[in-house]
Each structure stands twice: as C-alpha cells, then as structure tokens.
Amino acid sequence: MSLDRHDPEGAIAEAAKAYSNWGRWGADDVLGTLNFLDEAKRREGATLVRRGVSFSLSQRFDMNGPQKGWRRRTNPVHTMLDTGTDAALGNQGFPHGIGGADDVIAMPLQCSTQWDGLGHIFDHGKAWNGRDAEKVVTSAGDLVTGIEHMAPYVAGRGVLLDVARVIVGDDGEPELPDGFAITADHLATTAEAHGVSVGRGDIVLVRTGRLARARREGWGDYAGGPAPGLSFTTAGWLHASEIAAIATDTWGFEVRPNEFENAFQPLHQVVIPNMGLLIGEMWDLDGLAEDCARDGVYEFWLTAAPLPITGAVGSPVNPIAVK
C-alpha cells in the first residue's frame, strides 16, 4: 500500500473500504475481530503453558504514570476510605477487635495499560459495523458495543513480535527511535526471526522499546508525543492475518508523528470502526521479551479480559502471559 502524504482523507477512505469487516459476523455483532478467537483457538493457546512462569504485562496504576492532562486524561488518584489508623483508634465501630481498610480509585479508563473498545473511534460519524455513532455512544455510554461484551473472550494464544530487538539487533538498546514506522515487512521479518507464526485468532503483542526508554529517561511526551509504531500501510496485514487483537508498548499504537500531513491517528480510524479490531496500548512487554529472548519461545497463553464496565469505550487491563 503506497501513501500520498498529502491526502489522508483519500487513503483512509480507500483502506476503510478495502479492509472493512462490516456485516461479516452479522448486523448485531459487538465483538469484531474477537470472533476469530474461538474455542478451538483458546484450547490451542492453553497447550502453550509448559514452564508455568507468568508475566504481568501491565504498568502500575498510580499518580506517577505518564498522563499530563491531554483531553482530560489524568493519572489515577488513589484514596483510602478506611485505614489501619482508623482501626487502631477504634473509629470503625466493629465488634470483637476486627478492623479493616477500604479504598477508592478515580481515573480515566485509558490512562495506563488498556484496551480500546469498539466504541472508542468513529469514521465520518459511523461506529463499528456501520452504525450511526450518535446512536451507539451517548452521554449514557456505549449503548451497543460497550466493552463489557468482550469480557469473557480475551484469552488465547499470544504472540510477541519484539520488532525492536530484531531491527536493532545486538548493536545497541533494543528500542526503536521515535517516528519509526513498523511495516508489514518488519512484522513478517520479526516473526520469521522468532520462529513463530501469526494468524487467525492470535493476540499479537508488538514491542517497540518505547516504554523502556521512558522508564530510563522519564515520561516526557510518552503519552501523546512522538513514538515508534505501526505504519498506516499495515492495515492490509492486520486485516488479512485475521488476528483477534493487537497491543503495543506505546501510547498510540501507530507511529507518531503520523505519516500524513495534517492527520491524527488515521490507522485507528480504519481498524477500529471499520475492521472491528481490538487494540491495546501502553502494555509492559519488557520482562516477557527478555524471557522470550532467553528461551527462544515467543508464543504463550495470554489472558487479558477488560473490566466489564457497562457502556465503557475502553478498559484498564492486567494482561497475564503464561509460558
């Protein structure tokens, strides 16, 4: 797929038409590409557990996160409602010496490791499966494709594509520079180097090294600024591979700055409302990547259920990879 950097509108329209999954699973579908992750694929994923070692792929949810307030996205605010002090002073009113602690958290649902739901992005007023955006997501939430519908299904075969390690090699830190556009060839080359296949129903994790750099140098513009990521030209690969979901260690999934002039997240505009693809962002893939490099195995059981928040267009997640 070639790019006319001066015509994002035309490129988006062409890709949306070519890679649309509207109607593929019926007019009432609310799962999109998660339909590719069926029972057989889940059984296949379960057989990949050999050593029993597990990895959390989530960043921590605290005030020290990367958010700076763009579009009112803030870091989580954690507040204690009851504490050990309350218990020790006898302020809780419980009998026979029992005490406890309670807490509450306030945060945007996409402030840290998360999934983008199908109601997160629209294309010219259309939501996933061709529905009118204003009838899908209102002030009451996503009335049709709320992320709660996906909660039982996001578990299966995970595949790590450590693009940074393959592209950079042994000559430096396994991290791609900001603005590096990962193409379908890069993805294929990485899969071949890892000795792993990518196909129908897989949950694909793409490591760029951007999170590792942010941890070393400070958050800076990690949330919203320049980053390596998928090229707009990967839309065809994402469609043809029939993967169930994809996640990266970056804030925006696709390369930033974007590859067009005067554009904002054009790949999102194609793959979420038109393709129905589940996208994860800000995943911590570094520990898993180190283990995969040591044992040479880049496939694993992965469970990454979103919180079943009724009507939400995104959800925090603590993905667990088990090898």
Dump pLDDT digits (tens) for 72-116. 999 999 999 999 999 999 999 999 999 999 999 999 999 999 999
Q: What confidence category does residue 170 fall into, taking pLDDT thresholds of 50, 70 and 90?
A: low
Rounded Cα distance between 75 and 320, Å, is 22
Report the C-alpha gap between 46 and 155 in whole angstroms.
9
Q: Indicate the average pLDDT of the chain.
A: 97
Would you say how long the chain is, in residues? 323
CA–CA distance, 38 with 127 (Å, rounded to integer): 24
Beta strands 245-248 and 137-138: pairing type? unpaired
Nearest to 276 by CA among 14, 39, 26: 26
- Residue 51 pLDDT more than 70? yes
Reading the block at residue 320, the tokens are: 């667990």
Has residue 169 got a pLDDT over 80?
no
Strand ranges (E), 93-228: 102-106, 114-116, 126-127, 131-132, 137-138, 141-142, 155-161, 181-182, 203-206
- The confidence score (pLDDT) of residue 173 equals 82
SS3 of 286, please? helix
Question: Using an 8 Å Cβ cutoff, are 230 and 179 in contact?
Answer: no
Instruction: Delimit the domains of the chain by residue range.
Output: 8-69+109-322, 74-107
Alpha carbon of 132 to those of 30, 143, 279: distances in Å? 14, 12, 21
Q: How many CB atoms lie within 10 A of CB 13?
A: 15
pLDDT band at 206 (very low <50, low <70, confident <90, very high): very high
Residue 284 near residue 249 (C-beta atoms within 8 A): yes
For 251-281, write each residue's pLDDT tens digit: 999 999 999 999 999 999 999 999 999 999 9
Does domain 8-69+109-322 match CATH 3.40.50.800?
Answer: no
Separation CA 129–CA 142 (nearest Å): 14
Find the mean pLDDT for residues 114-134. Answer: 98
Rounded-to-integer distance, Cα 16 and Cα 127, Å: 12
The three-state secondary structure class of 275 is: helix
**Whether the predicted model's global pTM rises above the 0.75 cut:** yes
CB 53 within 8 A of CB 288: no
